[in-house]
Each structure stands twice: as structure tokens, then as C-alpha cells.
Amino acid sequence: MAHFVSLALLLSALSVSALPAPVCTDFVLPVTASANNIDLSSGDPTTNVTIPVSGTFGIELKFCEPTTVVASRAGTLQVLVHGASYDTSYWDFEAFQPDNYSYVRFAAAQGYPTLNMARLGSGLSDHPDPLQVVQFGLQIAIEEQILRLARAGSITALGRAFTDIILVGHSFGSSVTNGVIAQAPELVDAAILTGYSHFPVPASVFTVGGVLPASQVDPVRFGGLAPDYLTTHNASSRAAVLYGPVGTFDPSVLAADEATKDLLTTGEEFTFERFAVSAPGFTGDVAAFIGEKDPSFCDPSVDCQNIATEGQFYPNAKSFEFQIFPNTGHCLNLQLDAPQVFASIQSWLDRHGH
């Protein structure tokens, strides 16, 4: 009961007063990483032939230091990883009513520093070969390196070393999160997977929902990119995959989202399902948050209850919890329910001592 009272108070506070904005620094960090990617050069997406990739890649990081001081959270870093066709704006939606839709502002108001990254091939991060290089294997390796640097205190703009890392993903970003806690479980204390499940997405919903070469969709923004850099076609095809039904989102959010949409790659599409793995070595806390109207990751034949079985992939986790949000689509942060989603994430963090 106490939980619901505090939620109501929090929501009423959100609607009447502006959230204290954090102080943010946006920069591109050279990150050296290597992985065995899949050799997709034959055109066969099912091949198991691997190709080593390595290099130093510029990765856009946006670090936000809260102006609300909560001493117990100063050493905790929430690392935020966006999904396909997004960039840092997914977790820090500034284009429309940021007090309702920016998770970065919400977290800062609770005293959390955040490190919001643009995955390789998105935002201001480098855009290398979208078939052979920008794949999940390398994305996971890059994420691991960033977490190592943050724990070591080696990212100058962060100003310190962090001892508690909460990795928060959405969709493709949750797949990266899942891959990191499977491969390098010691780097993460708590994992939050939003808009994601191991339930197979038949033929990738992004293919079904119509993605096209980004250079064709928007020659002004994406004209120089190779055709394997992809994005959604238009606002209505975007809404069909990423949003719930009419009435569950504000059309102004969709318009702002469409205007700032970003990329995914063919290499990512073809390697996504390979990383729907178990993470038996992970001993931290795991939470799964999903919208009931998520066409990609909720299994409609069991009314989304496939999420309840996600704990099987984290057999040694300290805890596993899930929450399904009614009338909410795939992009939880951009639906009318976003403030409730954020409050639920906070309630979970509080209950697990993060």
C-alpha cells in the first residue's frame, strides 16, 4: 500500500513542478574493442563463419551529473543503451515535454548520474561497415570496454570511478545488455531490460515493419551512408512497430520521434537473435519491463506471459522481477505511460538497494 501512495505522490509532483535538469557533457570517446563477428559477405545470414574485427571506434557518450544530491547514489552509474533506429534521444527525449519523457531527467531527479551512449553506427558514434562491422558481437565488446573504463575511473569527463553499475537497455540495447551480463557478468550490478524478451522475433519485426536504406528515406540527413544503414520508412510505419494503438501515445511525441529518428544496420538485424543467450554467471539483480502492446517481444498467444519465464535465462541472479504495462507499446519511454514506467523502475531500484 505504501508503494502506491508514494507512486501517486511522485506522479503528482511530476505534473506540477519542473524536474531539476542535470548538468550534461556530450563527447566522443575512442574505444578499442575486438570481437568475432559473423562473416555475412556471402549473403547467407544463417552462416556460422566468423570474421575477427577490431579497432578503435569513436563512441558518443552523454554523461549527466544530477543537481539533486543523493550521497548514497553518487558512486552508482546508470548506463543507458538505446534500441534500433534511436540514439541518445531515446533515454533523454528533449524534443517534447522532457519532464514527462526523459528518463535521464527522471533519474537525475532521484540523484543518479547517467551515461547515455549512442551505439556504434548511431548518433555521433562512428559509422563503419554496416554489414561486417556493426554487429551485436562488436556492440557487446564495446559496451564491456566502456563499463571497464567507467569502473576504473578512466573516463575523464565522469570525474571519478563508479562502484555500482546499473545497465539499462531498450530493445536492441537490451540485447547488448543481455550479451554483456552473459560475457562479462562481473562488470554489472543490476540489469534492466526494457522492451525485450528471448521470445524469438520472427524474421525480425523491423523487416516486417518495413525498414529501408536510410539514404533513400532521408537523403539530407543520411545521404552519405551505405545502403545497409537502415531506418523506418515514415511516421505511420514507425508507429506500427514501436508504439501502442492510437490513444496510448501523444501524436506530438511520434512527430518529434520521427523527426529525430536514427539508424540500425543489416549486420545488427542478422546477428540479433544469436545473442538471445542465457547469463548463468550473472549474480546481480535483473528486471524486465515491457509494454503489453509490444508486437516484437510479447507473445500474443500467451498474452505476454512469456515475460514471466525470462528468469530462466538468469538462473543465478540475486533476483528476477518483471512488469507488464497495459496499453503500452514497444518504446515504453515514448508512451503516455512513460512516467509510470520510470516510477516503476525507481521503485525496483529502491527495493533492491541500488
Ligand X SMILES: *[C@@H]1O[C@H](CO)[C@@H](O)[C@H](O)[C@H]1NC(C)=O
Beta carbons of 258 and 234 less than 8 angstroms apart: yes
233 vs 318, beta carbon nearer ligand X:
233
Q: Interacting stretch for ligand X, rule CB under 6 A, among 136-144, 192-200, 231-239, 345-353?
A: 231-239
CB of 233 to ligand X, least distance (A): 3
For residue 153, which phi and psi values (nearest 5 degrees)? 75, 25
96 vs 313, beta carbon nearer ligand X:
96
Q: Strand 211-213 to strand 164-170: parallel, antiparallel, or no bridges (unpaired)?
A: unpaired
42 vs 301, beta carbon nearer ligand X:
42
DSSP structure string for 77-145: EEEEE--TT--TTTTB--SS-HHHHBHHHHHHHTT--EEEEPPTTSTTS----TTTTSSHHHHHHHHHH
Grid coordinates representing 271 are 546477428
**36 touching ligand X, by CB under 6 A:** no
Beta carbons of 230 and 214 less than 8 angstroms apart: yes
47 vs 156, beta carbon nearer ligand X:
47
- Interacting residue with ligand X among 32, 207, 236, 252 (CB under 6 A): 236
- Interacting residue with ligand X among 234, 252, 305, 316 (CB under 6 A): 234
- Interacting residue with ligand X among 47, 72, 305, 316 (CB under 6 A): 47
Grid coordinates representing 114 are 547517467
CB of 259 to ligand X, least distance (A): 15
Which SS3 state, helix, strand or coil, does residue 312 take? helix
- The closest alpha carbon to 240, from 268, 206, 197, belongs to 206
H-helix or E-strand spanning residue 294: none
206 vs 322, beta carbon nearer ligand X:
206
**45 touching ligand X, by CB under 6 A:** no
Residue the block writes with cell 531500484 = 349
Instruction: Provide the β-strand partners of residue 191.
Output: 167, 286
Q: Interacting stretch for ligand X, rule CB under 6 A, among 43-51, 119-127, 217-225, 313-321?
A: 43-51
**50 touching ligand X, by CB under 6 A:** no
Burial of 76 (0-12, 13-18, 19+ CB in 10 A): buried
Count of residues in contact with ligand X, rule CB under 6 A: 12
Beta carbons of 335 and 291 less than 8 angstroms apart: yes
234 vs 305, beta carbon nearer ligand X:
234
- Interacting residue with ligand X among 1, 48, 69, 247 (CB under 6 A): 48
Which SS3 state, helix, strand or coil, does residue 174 take? helix
Range 81-110, binding ligand X (CB under 6 A): 97, 99-100
- Interacting residue with ligand X among 46, 71, 220, 301 (CB under 6 A): 46
210 vs 311, beta carbon nearer ligand X:
210
**41 touching ligand X, by CB under 6 A:** no
Grid coordinates representing 318 are 540475486
**207 touching ligand X, by CB under 6 A:** no
**301 touching ligand X, by CB under 6 A:** no
DSSP structure string for 177-238: HHHHHHH-GGG-SEEEEES--SS--TT-HHHHT-EEEHHHH-HHHHTTS-TTEEEE-SHHHH
- Interacting residue with ligand X among 2, 5, 15, 43 (CB under 6 A): 15
38 vs 115, beta carbon nearer ligand X:
38
Nearest residue to ligand X on Cβ basis: 210
CB of 250 to ligand X, least distance (A): 6
189 vs 228, beta carbon nearer ligand X:
228
> In the complex, which residues of this chain contact ligand X (CB under 6 A)?
15, 46-48, 97, 99-100, 210, 233-234, 236-237
